Amino acid sequence: PITVGNLRKGVAMTDSLHPTVPQWYIMFSQAPITTRFASTGAPFHSSGAEHLIGVRYTTDGKWVFDCGSWPEIPNPEFEFTPANTDVLVAYVDFSNISNSRSLQGENDVLYGISRGYYFGDLQFRPNWWNGRENTGEVTVTGSFFVRNA
């Protein structure tokens, strides 16, 4: 099993992006987010999950992550190159929360990143942060998942 590390208050995301780009994935990074993406200079939310971050694939063919900074910054998306250990563990649709789901049981590759996992105890709650409703964030509970073979 892969442990997801300290979930802190959740996956911090930038609310102002959601009206124009509401579909996101929650990605697991083996390296802590702040270490892996330190070279970008992104101002990460200090209470965001240690190994999980909101990502999306852009219409111009690039993966970007949302640093989820607070206060919000004008350009919170930063391009990144996928690592072979990255896993998309959830899909979040802020325009229609009922479309949001865990990716447990799914098994494919989306533009170079493994999408889905075999089993785990992870649960995702969009529009929730630190134990209460908060539009645009995602609370995650659980501690592990098992990669697909």
Tens of pLDDT, residue by residue over 109-143, are: 999 999 999 999 999 999 999 999 998 999 999 99
Which tens digits make up the pLDDT trace of 31-62?
999 999 999 999 999 999 999 999 999 999 99
- pLDDT of 77 reads 95
Which tens digits make up the pLDDT trace of 52-108?
999 999 999 999 999 998 888 888 999 999 999 999 999 999 999 999 999 999 999
- pLDDT of 134 reads 93
Q: Is the dihedral of CA 133, 95, 77, 125 positive or negative?
A: positive
Q: What is the DSSP letter of 3?
A: E
- pLDDT of 56 reads 97
With beta carbons less than 8 A apart as the criterion, state whether 90 and 47 touch: no
Instruction: Give one DSSP letter per residue of 52-114, joined into a string.
Output: EEEEEE-TTS-EEEE---SS--S--EEEEPPPTT-EEEEEEETT-GGG-EE-BT--EEETTEE
Cα separation, 42 vs 37, in Å, equals 7
* pTM of the model as a whole: 0.96
Tokens for 14, please give them. Answer: 């930038």
- Examine the pLDDT at 16 and tell me if it is beyond 90: no
- Examine the pLDDT at 15 and tell me if it is beyond 90: no
- pLDDT of 112 reads 98
- pLDDT of 25 reads 98
